[in-house]
Amino acid sequence: VGRDRYGVFPLRGKLLNVRDASTQQVMNNAEITYLKQILGLQHGKKYEDTKSLRYGHLMIMTDQDHDGSHIKGLVINFMHHFFPSLVKMPGFMVEFVTPIVKATRNNGKDVKVFYTLPEYESWKEASANEKGWKIKYYKGLGTSTAKEAKEYFADLQKNSKDFTYTCDEDGKLIEMVFSKKHVDDRKRWLNSFQPGTFLDHNCSEIPYKDFINKELILFSRADLERSIPCILDGFKPGQRKIMYCGFKRNLKSDIKVAQFAGYVSEHSAYHHGEQSLASTIVGLAQDYVGSNNVNLLFPSGQFGTRLQGGKDSASPRYIYTRLGPLARYLFREEDDRLLNYLDEDGQSIEPEWYLPVLPLVLLNGADGIGTGWSTSIPNYNPKDVAANVKRYISGMPMESMVPWYKGFEGEISRVITKGASADKGESFSVSGIINIIDEKTIEIVELPLRKWTQDYKDFLEALMKPVKKEQQPFITDYKEYHTDTSVHFVVTLPEKNLELAQKQGIYKTFKLLTTISTSNMHLFSSEGLIKRYTAPEEIIEEFCDKRLEFYQKRKDCMLQDEEEQMKRLDNKVRFILMVVNGELVISNRKKADIESDLDNLGFDRLTKGGKSKASKQNQENDEDDEASPKSSKAGAKVSYDYLLSMPLWSLSLEKVQDLQNEYDQKKEAVQKIRGTKPTDMWLDDIEQLEENLDVVAAEEKKLQEELAEQQQRAKGGKGKGKAKGKSAKAAPKKLAVGVKVAPPVIEAKAPSKRGKAAAPKKRITQVDSDSEDDFMPSLMERLASRSGAGDIDVAKVPAAKAPAKRKQMSKKESLDSPSPQQKTKTVRRVSPVKKKTAAKKKSIVLSETEESDSEFENDSEFDSDALCDDESESDSDFEM
């Protein structure tokens, strides 16, 4: 091509979506500044030709995958927003296309090139019977060899496609995809997606509307699938691939997370970066407060704690994992053969979805931000979910559930909102625990869910900094006695500040209240469509309808297997007796003649291994000795080998008796299966799961007690020697004096519309639905405006640490805490709270030399920034 007339500028990741960005954001964006400088663009100028520009064309070269399509769209959006005349100019906007899949055979003589995955899938289905094709997937530009790159540029005209502006509809489509003003239009656009859609790159020109409707929509759909889990198994694609490989390998012994990520990438046809896989593996294994209620992988090493919300996990090179103790009680092996396994390049990979015993999406929750939709689903108690599933099985109405997080000791309460309808979801108030020790001392022993210890420490540090030197800070000191699983701050403050905090509401003063909502629960339904759910019971009902179907399929499959085994045993007994009695001669005869006699005698041709109809999942025995193939491969050849290959000692009387006894046992098993209802199978699975939940909980409790005992012994100075200088801080002994402050409570004026809640002792908080003041001013702001504040001053918390907005209580219903002298009982079990943050523009690094980890962001199940509060609307939209 040469460098005289072609310049190359590598973009660093994805360009800013300028459609709704502020002027300051655009001016501060280096990539946009460079683009304008390189092209010689003048802001606000209407171009009739390219004579005043440094270049006559803008050619976009990206990877041919979905993220590459997104980058093309962002560049087109930038040009259309600021320089629409250039977008409309024929031949100015150009794309350079490279293959995403190549199929070769006959030593490379026959080559087929595909520029989109749907195009390749369509060809694969049409040529299913053709063999000998070797498939190569091109993840990005870096996959191509130097020879292939020269071939691309040698035929520049063929590989470059001009974008054409055909009518005003093109511009409206560009704006619709990238503007916040067109949320509903974008959702309708996504819902109109038809599987199999792809853009034909054989044409020399591509209308913008075709690019939007046939290529960019593929990114939007893939982005949704990576962000929003499926209702049936609660998984996103990366998580499903990981669990498939864990089950496939029967992963019962430790393996390095980094090595397991490589195994998953190889055996599940994963086409993204292994770093994103490693991060997803870590997320599936985390078990700190606020993460998983049921971790499907075991965290053997430092997988992160509540100190930093999981961000303090060790490198994947240093930590190990294996299947968690509850994984196979949730995902039963008996169901593996019933699933619809996907296929890629002749390789069997993960199923379309799994079907656990209970809806996993309610046990571990889900958070994600996709194109057009986001989702935020809290965690629920497995026992509560199991109880409602049992009610579904028995035909009883389900009870309303309250979110619950394992290990959380604070309190959660349902908020009754005046005038709010049930179809908008529910809100819950979540509080930590604060105790007043004396007039100048308080202790904080629990934080609201997903408010991490380190972040709270930063908040306390801010309270210790006065705004002015001559003023007194709000708190004078704090000490820390927490562990990686518990929270314990002891805070010292002036007596008048404590009185003021109580008057204003001590929980709000120390930011120990937050909210969680069920108004933004979106999932892929069992039909594969995005659907909004307003209550966890609605999710349970849809899940159970599908789950019950598969218990019937399991029963039918088990019955078929047992009957086939009976047939096999019956044939063996008949065969042996006929040989012994001389009715069938097999010695000194041709195999074909023997098989002909067996046909005439009514014997059955069966697979040699045991089951003529086997699992579609190819199991293997890799490194784990306990792993074993469950059955022969699907489509195995049927014959009489299971009879003719029996050893000579099988002709003994003892062998006949053994086979007859085994036949009788199989007959009893068949009768038992026939008399078992599918619902009984389900109830048995639930019972086993609940029993093992109790076992795991007891083991975890015992481990925590042992660790606490070891810590106490260490603090007692029983070790050899003492450190010189300042002694280490030890947790104070349990105080005999002091009052635990109860969270703010207001009597509910209206009952819950969903009936009795499953969790005991819930508090009810009431707010007005039309409250416009979403958040009470922070204490420090109120103090600064109070004339009577005296010398009390509080440093402002940095903006980055500011809490999310919440519904404000009315004056009559203000959340004042009880007086220090009021005593309450110990804190009840509580559930999770989610914070709302503004939608953040993604900036994912994508270049020829760096791997895109876009899926990692969407697979981070427990990112606190992805949480929504009670203001989260079901139609909340996050821009591309």
> What span, in angstroms and rounded, lies between the C-alpha atoms of 72 and 179?
16
Question: Is the same domain home to 327 and 220?
Answer: no
Q: 3-state class of 423 per DSSP?
A: helix
Q: Please indicate, yes or no, whether residues 252 and 332 belong to a single structural domain of this protein.
A: yes
Q: Which residue has the higher pLDDT, 654 or 228?
A: 228
Q: Mean per-residue pLDDT for 220-226?
A: 91
d(CA 674, CA 752): 43
What is the reported pLDDT for 421? 64
Which pLDDT belongs to residue 2?
Answer: 66
Q: Is residue 44 in a domain?
A: yes
Q: How many domains does the chain have?
A: 4
What tokens does 817 get? 């805490």
Q: Which of 173-187, 338-352, 809-823 has the highest mean pLDDT?
A: 173-187
Greater confidence (299 vs 645) lies with 299
Tell me the CATH number at 466.
Answer: 3.30.1360.40
Measured CA to CA, the distance from residue 261 to residue 273 in angstroms comes to 9
In our burial notation (b when 16+ CB lie closer than 10 A, e otherwise), range 394-432 reads eeeebbbbbbbbbbbbbbbbbbbbeebeeebbbbbbbbb
CATH of the domain at 51: 3.40.50.670
Instruction: Express each pLDDT in 307-335 by its tens digit.
Output: 999 999 999 999 999 999 999 999 999 99
Per-residue pLDDT of 425-451, as tens digits, reads 889 999 999 999 999 999 999 999 999
The beta strands (E) that lie in 33-150 are given as: 58-61, 93-96, 101-105, 110-114, 134-137
Q: Is the pLDDT of residue 614 over 70?
A: no
pLDDT at 617 over 50: no
Determine the pLDDT at residue 644: 85
Question: Contact 67/844 with Cβ under 8 angstroms?
Answer: yes
> Confidence band (pLDDT; 50, 70, 90) for 105?
confident
The catalytic residue among 34, 55, 165, 318 is 318
Q: Given this model, what pLDDT does residue 739 score?
A: 67
Element (H, E) at 874: none
Quick one: 555 and 642 in the same domain?
Answer: yes
pLDDT of residue 746: 39
- Same-domain status, 513 and 653: no
Q: What is the pLDDT of residue 791?
A: 35
Amino acid at 29: N
Can you tell me the mean pLDDT for 516-539?
93
427-431 β-sheet, strand order: 513-517, 427-431, 411-418, 763-768
Contact 443, 435 (CB under 8 A): yes
Please report whether residue 486 resides in a domain. yes
Question: Can you tell me the mean pLDDT for 481-505?
Answer: 92
Could you tell me if 495 and 543 lie in one domain? no
Between 425 and 725, the higher pLDDT residue: 425
β-strand partners of 134: 104
What are the helix and strand counts (H, E) for the chain?
27, 25
Is 405 domain-assigned?
Answer: no
Residues 568 and 448 in one domain: no
The 3-state DSSP class for residue 205 equals strand
Q: What share of the chain is helix, strand, coil (3-state, %, to 5)?
A: 40, 15, 45
Q: What is the model's pLDDT at position 814? A: 34
- pLDDT tens for residues 262-277? 999 999 988 888 899 9
Compute CA 616 distance to the chain's CA centroid, rounded to the nearest angstrom.
26
Q: Band of the pLDDT at 626, cuts 50, 70, 90?
A: very low
pLDDT at 715: 67
Percent pLDDT > 90 in the chain is 46
More confident residue, 671 or 64: 671
Amino acid 698: pLDDT: 93
Prediction pTM value: 0.77
| pLDDT at residue 364 in the model | 96
Task: Answer whether residue 585 shows pLDDT above 90.
Answer: no
Residues 431 and 548 in one domain: no
In a domain, 773, yes or no: no
State the Cα–Cα distance between residues 674 and 668, nearest whole angstrom: 10
User: 47 and 34, same structural domain?
Assistant: yes
Contact 343, 370 (CB under 8 A): no
* CATH number for position 594: 1.10.268.10
At residue 245, what is the residue type? C
Query: Cα separation of 101 and 140, whole Å?
Result: 11
Residue 421 lies in a domain: yes
688/683 Cα distance (integer angstroms)? 9
pLDDT at position 402 is 95
- Note the pLDDT tens digit of each residue in 44-78: 899 999 999 999 999 999 888 888 899 999 999 99
Which has the closest alpha carbon to 744: 831, 816, 822? Answer: 816
pLDDT band of residue 136 (cuts 50, 70, 90) is confident
**What percentage of residues in the chain have a pLDDT greater than 70?**
77
Short-list 867, 229, 866, CA closest to 543: 229
CA neighbor of 269 nearest in space, from 353, 346, 355:
346
Q: Which two tokens stand for residue 464?
A: 């210790």
User: How many CA atoms are closer than 13 Å to the CA of 488, on its beta-carbon side?
Assistant: 13
Which H helix or E strand runs over 332? Answer: none
CA distances from 48 to 29, 52, 81, 86, 92 (A): 27, 10, 17, 8, 11
For residue 64, the model assigns a pLDDT of 81
Domain-ending residue, one of 360, 394, 428: 394
Nearest to residue 763, comparing CAs of 740, 741, 746?
746
Q: Rounded to an integer, what distance in angstroms lies between the CA atom of residue 231 and that of residue 352?
A: 12
Domain membership flag for residue 17: no
Kindly report the average pLDDT of the chain as a whole number: 79
Write the CB contacts of 436 (distance below 8 Å, at least 6 apart in sequence): 442, 498, 738, 739, 740, 741, 820
What was the pLDDT predicted at 745? 56
Q: Which pLDDT belongs to residue 717?
A: 55
Give me the CATH number covering residue 248: 3.90.199.10
Range of the structural domain that residue 152 is part of: 23-98+138-225
772 phi, psi to nearest 5 deg: -95, -25
Query: Do 299 and 176 fall into the same domain?
Result: no
Q: Lowest mean pLDDT of 242-251, 338-347, 546-555, 867-876, name the range.
A: 867-876
Most confidently modeled of 170-179, 422-431, 623-632? 170-179
What pLDDT is stored for residue 568 in this prediction? 87
329 and 201: one domain? no
pLDDT band, very low/low/confident/very high, at 753 (cuts 50, 70, 90): very low
From 534, 557, 572, the end of a domain falls on: 534
Closest by Cα among 359, 406, 365 to 686: 359
Q: Which residue has the higher pLDDT, 86 or 126?
A: 86
> Does a structural domain hold residue 644?
yes
Same domain for 300 and 427, yes or no, is no
Write down the pLDDT at residue 192: 85
The residue ranking higher by pLDDT, 745 or 399, is: 399
Say if 30 falls within a structural domain.
yes
Which residues are within 8 A (CB) of 652 and not within 5 positions of it... i.e. 6 or more apart?
Answer: none
Judge whether residue 411 has pLDDT over 90: yes
Residue 805 contacts residue 771 (beta carbons within 8 Å): no
- Co-location of 193 and 338 in the same domain: no
In whole angstroms, what is the distance from residue 533 CA to residue 442 CA? 41
Concerning whether 318 is annotated as a catalytic residue, the answer is: yes
CB 38 within 8 A of CB 54: yes
Q: Measured between alpha carbons, how far is residue 644 from residues 282, 598, 653, 655 in Å?
A: 51, 10, 18, 15
